[in-house]
Amino acid sequence: MLINDILRAASLVAMISLASQAGAQTLGPGEHVKPVFQQKLPNVPGKSMIAVIVTYDPGGKSPPHHHAGSAFIYAQVLSGSIRSKVDDAPARIYKTGENFYEAPGSKHGISENASKKVPASLLAVFVVDTDDDKLTVPDN
């Protein structure tokens, strides 16, 4: 039993370490990115699922950016409201409980807290090539 507990703890530490190396980074003022999960998909060779929680301070935002070319992203607003604009779609405000997705190759022109007074957060789940080392890259 003790060996199983040790192996589980070591596995958790390794997973957290890998998630923090998975390319999640803070890009903009008032933006905080926390890796929370990473796992290779056993039924889809070469693909992994990575999850991060993005928290925006009041008025916080990310600069225009894109994600790894292989990344399909599902985002769920956990608290507050997030203004988002992907590709040529109009900007939209998503509130707690609402969700959106980004297809591979999408450009994320706006990602910000819609409030200047209340923090906001979202869960972003990436399905990505396992060997992609940067999840998010700022646009020039």
Q: What is the pLDDT of residues 69-107, one digit of tens each?
A: 999 999 999 999 999 999 999 999 999 999 999 999 999
Q: Which helix (H) or strand (E) holds 14?
A: helix 2-21
Cα–Cα distance between 59 and 113 in angstroms, integer?
Answer: 6
Query: Residue ranges per domain, the chain?
Result: 2-138
Query: Looking at the domain that runs over 2-138, which CATH code has it been given?
Result: 2.60.120.10
Give dist(CA 83, CA 19) in Å, integer: 26
pLDDT value at residue 133: 81
Q: What is the pTM of this model?
A: 0.79
Residues 6+ apart with CB under 8 A from 96: 77, 78, 79, 80, 81
